[in-house]
């Protein structure tokens, strides 16, 4: 499960467009940060995506990607032209195709590599969808198939694109905030749609006549959409963002760290079997099966290179957002992670602290919350100087030093493991699977 939002200039502090996304995947499905350089390609060449290969274009733009370690595509990303894209799984009455095709994550990367504006990226994805279709297993360890929705933005405009098979509808976001969370949000008003969107629903018997058509109501699968808590998470991000008329980067980060509108100082990820939150934590059983494995916030402002704030780690409530610019390049993040523990990988370094903190969430978080906030405030001030690899390196280095210190504090604090048995046992299984060392 995931959450993606965009905030338009009329409600941001500095008149920028702000994009944010939490990528929720399986525990141990490490997410890697990659910067793909711009490239020229020979006529007639092809590109291999996760499952299929398609014709390549003559030139691809440089792209910053946050992606599950095993797939070609990305959960979220940006390109050198200032376009950002994030996607959501949507569960629908028209089953997702199981035959290999393009994943929604492939379409994100292809859209970023091929489009100079958000509007152009919208049409790149639509053309890919209609030409090649979407389909294939979206999991590396189990069977997971879904259709996709997207938020696509640049410094001038933003779009929501929601798809089922090869049918789709798109809405231009004109003002305020817009959030998507694993459910179709477009109802009976859109700016663009596929030719057969309405007629397909009528032929299937989901809708009697065109005048009654509602995309979300007539195409959504009730069971999966309900148990994903999509509507409650979308309501949470929307209400939080609408509560401020001056949304800025720190506020967007706060939204991605949210555990619900009513969460308080006694909230803990082990307390419930049901219920997903924006900052998502794997629980026990067949419902809470996702974990936030990467997060990103981008500021898009006309005439200025976007700054992208990435965690490169799981659980933003326990981590830090660091600034990167495409023109400056990435710091050394260590070896790309896999599903197995690697003490030299950024993602797995953080996972040690994350997994320890889960066992008595509030007490561990209180050990270093104030330092986390102070560090992030420092990063925000430094980033105002503009694109700089040195600034990015300093922020990642400061995070590394802080994480090691926090981990030692946590080990020496003598905090009792109070996690409920079923939660503790579930995570013990994940840890064994990843080869995590025991403390």
Could you list the active site residues?
Answer: 2
Contact 241, 211 (CB under 8 A): no
Closest-CA residue to 286 (of 161, 426, 148, 429): 426
Closest-CA residue to 320 (of 308, 332, 330, 312): 312
CB atoms within 10 A of CB 286: 7
Element (H, E) at 412: helix 389-412
Residue with tokens 């069977």: 143
> Using CA atoms, how far apart are residues 93 and 91, in angstroms rounded to an integer?
7
Residue with tokens 């008003």: 189
Residue 106 backbone phi and psi in degrees, to 5 = -60, -40
Residue 123 backbone phi and psi in degrees, to 5 = -75, -30
Contact 305, 32 (CB under 8 A): no
> Using CA atoms, how far apart are residues 62 and 40, in angstroms rounded to an integer?
11
* DSSP letter for each residue of 279-327: S----STTT---EEEEEEEEEEETTEEEEEEE--SS-GGGS--EEE-TT
């Amino acid at each position: 499960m995931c959450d993606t939002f965009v905030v338009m200039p009329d409600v941001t502090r500095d008149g920028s467009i702000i994009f944010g996304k939490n990528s929720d995947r399986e525990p141990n499905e490490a997410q890697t940060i990659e910067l793909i350089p711009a490239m020229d390609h020979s006529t007639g060449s092809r590109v291999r995506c996760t499952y299929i290969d398609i014709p390549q274009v003559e030139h691809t733009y440089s792209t910053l990607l946050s992606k599950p370690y095993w797939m070609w595509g990305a959960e979220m990303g940006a390109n050198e032209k200032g376009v950002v894209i994030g996607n959501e799984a949507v569960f629908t009455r028209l089953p997702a195709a199981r035959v290999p095709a393009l994943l929604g994550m492939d379409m994100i990367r292809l859209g970023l590599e091929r489009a100079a504006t958000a509007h152009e990226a919208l049409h790149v994805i639509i053309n890919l969808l209609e030409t090649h279709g979407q389909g294939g297993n979206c999991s590396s360890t189990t069977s997971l198939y879904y259709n996709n929705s997207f938020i696509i933005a640049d410094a001038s405009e933003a779009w929501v694109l929601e798809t089922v098979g090869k049918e789709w509808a798109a809405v231009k976001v004109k003002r305020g905030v817009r959030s998507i969370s694993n459910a179709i949000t477009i109802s009976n008003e859109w700016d663009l749609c596929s030719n057969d969107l309405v007629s397909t629903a009528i032929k299937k018997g989901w809708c009697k006549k065109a005048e009654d058509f509602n995309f979300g109501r007539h195409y959504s699968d009730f069971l999966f959409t309900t148990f994903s808590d999509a509507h409650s998470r979308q309501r949470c991000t929307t209400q939080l963002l609408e509560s401020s008329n001056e949304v800025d980067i720190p506020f967007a980060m706060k939204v991605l760290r949210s555990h619900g509108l009513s969460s308080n100082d006694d909230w803990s990820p082990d307390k419930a079997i049901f219920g997903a939150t924006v900052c998502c934590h794997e629980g026990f059983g067949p419902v809470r099966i996702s974990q936030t494995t990467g997060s990103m916030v981008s500021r898009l402002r006309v005439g200025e290179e976007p700054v992208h704030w990435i965690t490169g780690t799981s659980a933003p409530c326990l981590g830090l957002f660091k600034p990167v610019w495409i023109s400056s390049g990435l710091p050394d993040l260590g070896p790309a992670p896999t599903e197995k523990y690697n003490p030299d990988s950024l993602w797995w370094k953080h996972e040690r602290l994350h997994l320890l903190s889960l066992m008595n969430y509030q007490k561990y978080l209180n050990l270093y919350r104030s330092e986390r906030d102070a560090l992030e405030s420092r990063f925000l001030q430094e980033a105002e100087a503009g694109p700089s690899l040195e600034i990015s390196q300093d922020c990642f280095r400061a995070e590394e030093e802080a994480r090691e210190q926090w981990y030692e504090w946590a080990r020496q604090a003598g905090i009792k493991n109070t996690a409920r048995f079923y939660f503790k046992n579930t995570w013990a299984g994940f840890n064994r699977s990843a080869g995590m060392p025991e403390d």
